Chains A and B, each alone.
Chain A
Amino acid sequence: QSALTQPPSVSGSPGQSVTISCTGSSRDVGSYNRVSWYQQPPGTAPKLIIFEVSNRPSGVPDRFSGSKSGNTASLTISGLQAEDEADYYCSSGTSSDKVVFGEGTKLTVL
């Protein structure tokens, strides 16, 4: 049950777009559309922002989008805003009825 691989950090200026990758294996990301993404600003609980690879819960801006290709999922944030600065985690259900999270990516808005 190894953690999914994410870049430790990404950054962008307001208005720009950034993409965070999330690489797993054929036992998780690659075989199922069970990928989700969570946003965690400092000192707060995580918030679900993407489920089933690319679906947004109600209230999540459409600036947030998700996709998947093979064993790698991606979260793209367009039109960066200062309030987007947070840690982001991907997650996937696995073939053995478990959940695995990514290592987390710190987004800095310059």
Chain B
Amino acid sequence: EVQLLESGGGLVQPGGSLRLSCAASGFTFKNFALSWVRQAPGKGLEWVSSISARADATYYGDSVKGRFTISRSDSTNTVFLQMSSLRPEDTALYYCARRFVYSSSWFYFGNWGQGTLVTVSS
């Protein structure tokens, strides 16, 4: 069974940093692109970032480009999101998502974790 378990969320002051982790299991990690999608409280989904299966390509949404960095570790089956210069508008539930297994396209999210909450406030 595919499992994605996010961690690392919490309360951080504006301008601060936080590192999210997503531990994956139940599939061959190195074969799949992985992504982060966030959802502000009571709001819609917003794509944040994605990383290719071989980590040779990374993609970022306009609102986080230059502040967030996605990476992965095939040795620990974990994907990370390093967030810096955090703003109140970054407050959201951050989901980790895996590429849909029946498509080679990285932008279909077939499996999701339960999310980790990030709150940016003074």
B111 to chain A, nearest CB (A): 8
B73 within 8 A of partner (CB): no
The residue on B at minimum CB distance from A6 is B44
Report whether A98 and B114 are in contact in the complex, using a CB–CB cutoff of 8 Å.
no
The residue on A at minimum CB distance from B115 is A45
The residue on B at minimum CB distance from A33 is B105
Report the bound CA distance from A91 to B100 in whole Å. Answer: 14
B79 to chain A, nearest CB (A): 16
The residue on A at minimum CB distance from B47 is A99
Given A34-B105, A93-B105, A98-B59, A46–B112 Cβ distance below 8 Å? yes
Given A57-B102, A98-B59, A34–B45 Cβ distance below 8 Å? no
CB neighbors of B among A26-81 (8 A): 34, 36, 38, 40, 45-48, 51-52, 57-58
Q: Which of B59, B61, B100 contacts A51 (CB 8 A)?
A: B100
Q: Which of A46, A57, A58, A97 contacts B45 (CB 8 A)?
A: A46
- List A residues at the B interface (Cβ < 8 Å): 1, 3, 34, 36, 38, 40, 45-48, 51-52, 57-58, 87, 89, 91, 93, 97-104
- List B residues at the A interface (Cβ < 8 Å): 35, 37, 44-47, 50, 59-63, 95, 100, 102-103, 105, 107-110, 112-115
Could you list 13 A-B pairs, sorted by A, with CB under 8 Å? A1-B62, A36-B107, A38-B109, A45-B95, A46-B95, A48-B100, A48-B109, A51-B103, A51-B108, A98-B60, A99-B50, A99-B59, A102-B44
Beyond A51-B108, A87-B44, A99-B107, 11 additional pairs, beta carbon < 8 A = A45-B95, A46-B95, A51-B103, A57-B100, A58-B102, A98-B59, A98-B61, A101-B44, A101-B47, A104-B44, A104-B45
Across the A-B interface, give the 5 residue pairs with the lowest CB-CB distance, nearest first: A99-B47, A104-B44, A45-B112, A93-B107, A101-B45
